[in-house]
């Protein structure tokens, strides 16, 4: 943080002593979470009624019977029934880890600030730190903080439509997921998510890169893009891209595929919008567009999940007019402090690069899954994805058998999730800030054991 009154307080020796003592106390408490454990019978009845209460209170049940106790250790989470599980989906990519001294310290430094939330009217100095870091690291001119991935995308769309006024259409990829607001439900390529909703946005879809047919899929996407543009000249606010499709099933594209589309768009002044809500901090670079070498061509980028605070990053040319984007909250002071910590960790502690921690954990997990696929070709295909985004197909992607399989994994102490559609895939988003080699070895054993004999 910039030199300030708060910094003088937050470095006060008395405060430092209390902080270290608190961190040490929590650290000792969580240090015993070192292996998978079944529920404790003392808590199971209360847990069952909490699950039924949450169903009543929310109006819908939970996907997993998951209610955390609030205590975790690295890749381990302890549920409120006393069970300990490996979290290999990390809140669908949001958790850096389950409890680390450094993260706890960052959160406490945020939590002791005078207000819980920061906003656009009144923000604290650490908002400035985060905004500056995001724009410096991205190479984009500006960063606007917000509360969810969907809001970051909404803001990006508003900026793009205002910039390209009177454009009315958007280009996006088939099978993309971009959020569930009234507008984004029309971008997300899943009709189930917009049942009963009025039309808000007209989206023309391009087929994504197909690794089995690189040339044909690239040509197909370019031809379709060109035909859309000639049918609706000047009608497009932007091309919105996920560079590794997340909810779609962890399908990565390639630089040449993206560049082919970008060149067509640029020749028609159509801005390039990269949705990095799921890819941020999951490749060998901080941003996936840097991994694909597209940094000179992007106009607007959104981040979320692992970034802890969501944001829309954009170039000066797209500067929105006053009043277009704002909201009461940008984020909590705690999350802003956590976001700065995650950026520091990712960029300064050996996570990035081909030899960095993200790729080494990824390679270990992928090698393990490859070996399982060789031993059990009847059930397992893959792995797929890139970096910290790994998936495999089980049971040829049969939805019923895949769901039954991930529930068996849950019962056995490994939490994963699904993605993709026909084939449905088993998805891993490891808590990259806490997962160890030993964790991965142990999870791979469970992954194999839970397959049908
Ligand atoms: C690529 C992508 N964009 C946008 C979103 C929406 O983010 P949120 O759920 O935080 O609104 C998601 C969420 O999974 C996502 O994966």
DSSP string computed for 70-90: EEEEBTEEEETTS-EEEESSH
In the chain, list all ranges with CATH 3.40.640.10: 109-348
Distance 46 CA to ligand 1 centre (A): 33
Instruction: Give me the pLDDT at residue 97, please.
Output: 98
Give the global pTM.
0.97
- Taking the centre of ligand 1 as the mean of its atom positions, its distance from the CA of residue 405, in whole angstroms, is 25
Check residue 2 and give its pLDDT.
57
Q: Is 3 exposed, middle or buried (0-12, 13-18, 19+ CB in 10 A)?
A: exposed
CA–centroid distance, 5 to ligand 1, in Å, is 37
| Contact criterion met (CB below 8 Å) for 319 and 271 | no
pLDDT in the model for residue 5? 85
According to the model, what pLDDT value does residue 1 have? 52
How far is the centre of ligand 1, averaged over its atoms, from the C-alpha of 19 (Å)?
34
Distance in Å, CA 318 to ligand 1 centroid? 22
Q: Answer whether 157 contacts ligand 1 (Cβ < 6 A).
A: no
Dihedral angle, C-alpha 245, 247, 249, 253, nearest 10 °:
0
For residue 177 and ligand 1, the question of a CB distance below 6 A is answered with yes
Query: 181: Cβ below 6 Å to ligand 1?
Result: no
- Whole-angstrom distance, CA of residue 27 vs CA of residue 29: 5
The verdict on the CB of residue 278 being under 6 Å from ligand 1 is yes
From 94, 149, 312, give the residue whose CB has the most ligand 1 atoms within 8 Å, as the site to mutate: 149
Q: Which atom of ligand 1 is nearest to the CA of 304?
A: 10
Distance between CA atoms of 150 and 153, rounded to whole angstroms?
5
Q: How far is the centre of ligand 1, averaged over its atoms, from the C-alpha of 156 (Å)?
A: 13
| Ligand 1 site, residue 272, Cβ cutoff 6 A | no
Is residue 125 a contact partner of residue 2, using CB atoms and an 8 Å limit? Answer: yes
Provide the token pair at 283. 């490749």
Q: Whose CA is nearest to atom 13 of ligand 1?
A: 179
**CATH 3.90.1150.10 domain range(s) in the chain:** 29-45+81-88+370-453
CA 183 / ligand 1 centre spacing (Å) = 13
384-415: b or e for each residue (b if 16 or more CB lie within 10 Å)?
bbbbbbbbbbbbebeeeebeebbeebbebbbb
Q: Is 275 in the pocket of ligand 1 (CB under 6 A)?
A: yes
Encode the chain (453 residues) as per-residue pLDDT tens digits.
Answer: 557 888 888 889 999 999 999 999 999 999 999 999 999 999 999 999 999 999 999 999 999 999 999 999 999 999 999 999 999 999 999 999 999 999 999 999 999 999 999 999 999 999 999 999 999 999 999 999 999 999 999 999 999 999 999 999 999 999 999 999 999 999 999 999 999 999 999 999 999 999 999 999 999 999 999 999 999 999 999 999 999 999 999 999 999 999 999 999 999 999 999 999 999 999 999 999 999 999 999 999 999 999 999 999 999 999 999 999 999 999 999 999 999 999 999 999 999 999 999 999 999 999 999 999 999 999 999 999 999 999 999 999 999 999 999 999 999 999 999 999 999 999 999 999 999 999 999 999 999 999 988
Interhelix angle 101-111/333-348, nearest 10 degrees: 150
Q: If you take atom 7 of ligand 1, which residue's CA is the nearest one?
A: 149
Among 91, 150, 303, say which to mutate for ligand 1: greatest number of ligand atoms within 8 Å of CB.
Answer: 150
Test site for ligand 1: of 147, 148, 173, 178, most ligand atoms within 8 A of the Cβ = 178
> How remote is the CA of residue 277 from the centroid of ligand 1, in Å?
6
Q: What is the CATH number of domain 29-45+81-88+370-453?
A: 3.90.1150.10
276 lines ligand 1 (CB under 6 A): no
CA 273, CA 18: separation in Å to the nearest integer? 45
Q: Which option is the CATH number for 109-348: 2.40.50.140, 3.40.640.10, 3.60.40.10, 3.40.1030.10?
A: 3.40.640.10
Ligand 1 nearest atom to the CA of residue 150, by list position: 11
Residue 160, pLDDT score = 98
- The 3-state DSSP class for residue 442 equals helix
Q: Which of 277, 302, 420 to mutate to test the pocket of ligand 1 (most atoms within 8 A of CB)?
A: 277
Does ligand 1 have an atom closer than 6 angstroms to the CB of 248? no
Distance 165 CA to ligand 1 centre (A): 26
Contacts of 360 (CB under 8 A, 6+ apart): none
């Amino acid at each position: 943080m910039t030199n300030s009154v708060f910094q003088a307080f937050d470095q006060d020796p008395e405060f430092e002593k209390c902080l270290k003592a608190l961190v040490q106390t929590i650290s000792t408490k969580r240090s015993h979470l070192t292996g998978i454990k079944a529920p404790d019978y003392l808590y199971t009845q209360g847990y069952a009624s909490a699950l039924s209460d949450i169903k009543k209170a929310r109006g819908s049940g939970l996907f997993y019977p998951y209610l955390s106790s609030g205590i975790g250790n690295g890749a381990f989470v302890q549920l409120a029934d006393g069970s300990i599980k490996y979290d290999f989906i990390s809140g669908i990519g949001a958790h850096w880890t389950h409890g680390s001294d450094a993260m706890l310290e960052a959160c406490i430094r945020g939590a002791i600030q005078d207000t819980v939330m920061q906003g656009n009217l009144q923000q604290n100095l650490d908002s400035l730190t985060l905004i500056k870091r995001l724009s410096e690291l991205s190479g984009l001119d500006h960063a606007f903080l917000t509360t969810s991935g969907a809001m970051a995308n909404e803001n990006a769309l508003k900026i793009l439509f205002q910039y390209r006024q009177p454009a009315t259409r958007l280009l996006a990829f088939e099978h993309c997921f971009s959020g569930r607001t009234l507008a984004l439900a029309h971008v997300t390529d899943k009709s189930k998510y917009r049942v009963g909703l009025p039309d808000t946005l007209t989206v023309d879809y391009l087929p994504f890169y197909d690794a089995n047919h690189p040339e044909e899929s690239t040509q197909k996407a370019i031809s379709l893009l060109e035909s859309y543009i000639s049918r609706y000249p000047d009608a497009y606010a932007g091309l919105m891209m996920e560079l590794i499709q997340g909810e779609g099933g962890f399908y990565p594209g390639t630089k040449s595929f993206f560049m082919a589309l970008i060149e067509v768009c640029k020749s028609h002044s159509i801005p390039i919008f990269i949705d990095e809500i799921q890819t941020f901090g999951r490749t060998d670079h901080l941003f996936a567009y840097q991994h694909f070498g597209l940094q000179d061509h992007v106009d607007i980028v959104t981040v979320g999940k692992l970034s802890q605070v969501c944001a829309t990053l954009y170039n000066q040319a797209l500067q929105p007019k006053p009043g277009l984007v704002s909201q009461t909250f940008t984020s909590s002071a705690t999350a802003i402090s956590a976001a700065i910590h995650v950026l520091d960790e990712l960029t300064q502690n050996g996570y990035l690069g081909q030899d960095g921690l993200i790729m080494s954990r990824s390679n270990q997990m992928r090698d393990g899954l490859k070996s399982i696929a060789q031993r059990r070709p009847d059930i397992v295909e893959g792995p797929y994805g890139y970096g910290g985004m790994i998936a495999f197909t089980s049971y040829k992607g049969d939805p019923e058998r895949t769901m039954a399989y991930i529930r068996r994994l849950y019962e056995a102490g490994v939490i994963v999730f699904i993605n993709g559609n026909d084939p449905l895939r088993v998805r891993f988003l490891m808590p990259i800030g806490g997962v160890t080699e030993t964790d991965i070895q142990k999870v791979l054993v469970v992954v194999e054991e839970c397959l049908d004999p």
